[in-house]
């Protein structure tokens, strides 16, 4: 069963990008929506991640 939320390390591992890239995307408004927990950790809803990733799909060459 898939988890509803990804941790930041899980998100970074899925895309194989460094944390600095994620925070640059976040500052530019290009990262998926995040949720900040009371302990300061970030979570990304799996459905938000999937939608975000699909929106970056490039059109297929003709």
For residue 49, give every residue at least 6 positions away whose Cβ sits within 8 Å of its Cβ, in sequence order, or none.
6, 11, 14, 32
Q: How confident is the model at residue 59 (pLDDT cuts 50, 70, 90)?
A: confident
The 3-class secondary structure across the chain, one letter per residue, is CCCCEEEHHHHHHHHCCCHHHHHHHHHCCCCCCCEECCCCCEEEEHHHHHHHHHCCCCCCCC
- For 48, the token pair is 């938000």
pLDDT digits (tens, 9 = 90+) for 6-56: 999 999 999 999 999 999 999 999 999 999 999 999 999 999 999 999 999
Global pTM reads 0.84
């Amino acid at each position: 069963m898939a988890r509803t939320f990804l941790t930041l390390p899980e998100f970074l591992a899925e895309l194989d990008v460094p944390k600095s890239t994620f925070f640059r995307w976040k500052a530019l408004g290009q990262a998926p929506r995040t949720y900040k927990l009371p302990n300061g950790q970030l979570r990304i809803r799996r459905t938000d991640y999937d939608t975000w990733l699909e929106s970056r799909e490039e059109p297929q060459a003709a």
